[in-house]
Amino acid sequence: MKTLTVGERRIALDKDGYLADLDDWSADVATALATAEDIELSPEHWEILELLRAFYDEFQLSPATRPLIKYTALKLGPDKGNSLHLNRLFKGTPAKLAAKLAGLPKPTNCL
Partner 1 sequence: MAKSLLLISRQAPWSGPGAREALDIVLAGGAFDLPIGLLFLDDGVFQLAAGQHAKVVQQKDLSANLQALPMFGVDDLFVCADSAAERGLAVDALALDDLNVLGAADIAALIDRYDQVITL
Q: Residue 69: which residues within 8 A CB-CB, separation 6 or more?
A: 81, 82, 83, 86
Minimum distance between the CB of residue 5 and partner 1, rounded to whole angstroms? 30
Report if residue 6 touches partner 1, rule: CB under 8 A.
no
Residue 4 pairs in a beta bridge with 11
Report if residue 5 touches partner 1, rule: CB under 8 A.
no
Q: So which residues are the catalytic ones?
A: 110
Q: What is the sign of the dihedral through the CA atoms of 58, 89, 104 and 61?
A: positive
Report if residue 111 touches partner 1, rule: CB under 8 A.
yes
- Rounded to an integer, what distance in angstroms lies between the CA atom of residue 59 and that of residue 104? 12
User: Between residues 39 and 73, which has the closer beta carbon with respect to partner 1?
Assistant: 73
- Rounded to an integer, what distance in angstroms lies between the CA atom of residue 109 and that of residue 66? 10
- Taking residues 38 to 57 in sequence order and writing x for each that binds partner 1 by CB under 8 A, - otherwise, the string is -----------------x--
Q: Which residues bind partner 1 (CB under 8 A)?
A: 55, 58-61, 63-67, 70-71, 108-111
